[in-house]
Structures are given as structure tokens and as C-alpha cells.
Amino acid sequence: MKSIQSFQLLTSEFTISMILALYKRIRKSKSVIYLCKNGELCRQEDIPQVVSFVLSLQEQWLLIIVEGEDAEHVKKDFIEKCDYLGLE
């Protein structure tokens, strides 16, 4: 069954390795990932699009929305890999 999960990251703490970890996890999942800033939505489709979207932010909060069968696992896995505890 599909579910929707979301979490926020401060972009000043978002490194290239975190972007790559997110993208890698997205490719393995059965979920769709959306990145949102200031009402602008970016559906992850390819790595250059995701990287440029994230790098265009300057010390702003990035909302990451995960929709799909394994949304909860994607969220948990990404947060654990990044050792990031600042949820919602």
C-alpha cells in the first residue's frame, strides 16, 4: 500500500554525498521522491536535476516528500545514512 512520508533538511548541511545517497536510495526504491522549496516542486528524475535543484538553495529548508510502497523505509534509511536527526 502506498504511503507518503516527508522530512526537512537544512540545505547548508546537505552535502554532495548526501545528495548522492538520496539519489542512490531513490533508484532502488518503489517510491517517487519530490523536493520542494518555496512552493517549487522538483520530481527527481535524474541526478543533474536533483543536484542543481539542491545546490540552488542557500541555507534554506528543503522539504523531501516520499510517496510509494516503501516510503517509510526510504525516509528512515536516508536519515540513518546521513546521521541526521532533525525531523519535521
The string of DSSP letters for 4-23 reads: EEEEEEEGGG--HHHHHHHH
Residue 65: inside a domain, yes or no? yes
- Give φ, ψ of 57 to 5 degrees: -85, 145
pLDDT value of position 87: 35
Residue 19: inside a domain, yes or no? yes
Which residue range forms the structural domain that includes residue 45?
3-82
The total domain count for the chain is 1
Q: How confident is the model at residue 82 (pLDDT cuts 50, 70, 90)?
A: low
The CATH number of whichever domain residue 15 belongs to comes to 3.30.1340.10
Task: Look at the pTM and tell me if it is higher than 0.95.
Answer: no
Residue 57 reports pLDDT greater than 80: no
Residue 59: inside a domain, yes or no? yes
Residue 84 reports pLDDT greater than 60: no
Residue 87: inside a domain, yes or no? no
SS3 46: coil
